Amino acid sequence: MASPTLKQLRYFDALAAQGHFGRAAELCAISQPALSMQIRELEEQFGTPLFERGARQVRLTRVGAELAPRVRDILRSVDELGDIARATRGRLEGRLNVGVIPTVAPYLLPALIGALRQSHAGLDVHVRETLTPRLIEELADGRIDTAIVALPVDEPTLAEVPLFTERFVLVRPAAEADAPVPGGEALAQMKLLLLEEGHCFRDQALAYCAAGASAPRDGLDGTSLSTLVQMVGAGLGVTLIPEMAIPVEARWPGVAVARLPSPEPARTIGMVWRRTSPLAAQFAGIAEVVRAAAEPA
């Protein structure tokens, strides 16, 4: 049997992760027919299907599922060899895969990308925006190099570097701008609009209100902070947003922003990466750029 190429293994890994030919092809920056052809050649080499093709989804077969973790180990080892070579050059260059949680990405990335272009001219930054559990999983698998998340993540295999702490603020209808600002317990009795389950910011908001995730709620869940703020503007309730979101989200008509009573709820945003990464020192330098980019203008 001919040995699979490294390129074929990367295509296999992308398809296994995405479960969709179109998304995997986009991730690999190739056409979908080219990806399909490489996967077929790989399956011919193994003499068995590695994927079950469905109308909307692709799933690993039994053999494919057995192969997937071995492929990931091979790719991670190859990537680490490349990282060792990059580390010897001192200055970080080439592709950098950065994960960012959705409640940070829209508000930090514009300033951060510009700052990285100035400080690291040879860096090719690729951003992955998704929820913390998925980012931690992709860090462990080597699909991303580092991630910007809310701390702590409590994962012993990852190094954590705090970047900044930001407070939460209340967003309510403009007609209520002069009303007393409720505290956490009072908010728990109001129609509090939250992000859908899976967002760490949802859990932090519920913790401030002393309302467990399983407590009954008479509210609506949104997919983004922008959605929540627009719902507030429509008179559907109130919500909490992080401080960095104020310049963007407070522009929506019909809403007012208020500081919460002391002690104000807050979160710590930080960077995480694999403790074993040869690029740990370079990531620490990137963290300094992120910290500076997050400072108010």
Distances (CA, A) of 138 to 72, 103, 141, 222: 11, 18, 5, 25
Which of 162, 124, 161, 155 has the alpha carbon at shortest distance from 141?
155
Is there a shared CATH topology between the 6-84 domain and the 165-266 domain?
no
Span 214-252, pLDDT tens digits = 444 555 788 999 999 999 999 999 999 999 999 999 888
Q: What is the pLDDT of residue 72?
A: 85
By DSSP bridging, strand 255-259 and strand 146-151 are unpaired
Which range has the worst mean pLDDT, 157-166, 212-221, 239-248, 276-285?
A: 212-221
**What percent of the chain is modeled with pLDDT above 70?**
93
Give me the residues paired with residue 270 across strands: 149, 162
CB-CB contact of 264 with 168 (8 Å)? yes
Q: Which fold has domain 6-84?
A: Arc Repressor Mutant, subunit A (1.10.10)
User: Structural domain boundaries of the chain?
Assistant: 6-84, 91-164+267-293, 165-266
Q: Which fold has domain 91-164+267-293?
A: D-Maltodextrin-Binding Protein; domain 2 (3.40.190)
CB-CB contact of 238 with 211 (8 Å)? no
Q: Which two tokens stand for residue 193?
A: 């609009």
Residue 214 carries which DSSP code? T
Alpha-carbon gap, residue 148 to 135, rounded angstroms? 9
Question: 165-266 — its CATH code?
Answer: 3.40.190.10
Span 38-80, pLDDT tens digits = 999 999 999 999 999 887 889 999 999 999 989 888 887 777 7
